[in-house]
Structures are given as structure tokens and as C-alpha cells.
Amino acid sequence: MTTTSYMVWLIIGCALVTWLPRVIPFIFVRSVTLPDVVLKWLSFIPVCILSALVIENLIDTESGKVVTLDWQVFITFVPTLIIALVTKSLSITVVAGVIIMAAVRFFM
């Protein structure tokens, strides 16, 4: 595959379009003092995003019109959550979750 100047400029443009929206808010917030209410509200965003991702994976909507629980994911979620609460280590939690999910898929 040959690389043309068009492809290089396209990659640079895509990188800028991806990078700028992530950097501009940090530049703006760095020069502004945010009220305590806004800082408290912003502290809940990671929890909300993580909860949305977890709930989205726990619920199976592909089986038809009825929303059901994806049992493989639920069986993996419970021990992984316990490991996360006990160890408070992201690495251990991720590795344990992957291993548990592999075991659940292998045996089910």
C-alpha cells in the first residue's frame, strides 16, 4: 500500500479533529475558577459513565422486544465487583474480570 500526501493530510486532519475537542475544555477551565457546586457535579461524571457502561452490558436487548438480563455478563460482574471493592486495584480488577469472563464463556 502506498502512502499519498492526501492520506497523510487526512490522518493529520483526523488527529486534530479528535484532539482539539479534548484539549480546548482543559485550556478554558485552567484559566477559570469553577464554583464548588460545579466541581462537585463534575466529580460524579466518571461514576455515571461507568454505571452506564456496566448497565448497558448487563442488559440484553438483542433477543427481541423484551429486555432481559445477560446472565454471562451478570455472573462475571458480581465476582469482579467484589474483587474491585476488596482490592481497590484497577489492574487486578481488569485481569480478574477477563479471566472470569473467559471461564464463564468456556463453561457455559
Q: What is the pLDDT of residues 18-33, one digit of tens each?
A: 999 888 888 887 888 8
- Does residue 64 register a pLDDT over 80? no
Check residue 9 and give its pLDDT.
Answer: 95
Check residue 1 and give its pLDDT.
Answer: 67
Question: 65 by DSSP, 3-state: which?
Answer: coil
- Does residue 12 register a pLDDT over 80? yes
Q: How far apart are CA 39 and CA 25, in angstroms?
A: 14
Q: Which positions ≥6 away from 67 have C-beta within 8 Å?
A: 59, 60, 61
Computed over every residue of the chain, the mean pLDDT equals 88
- Does residue 39 register a pLDDT over 70? yes
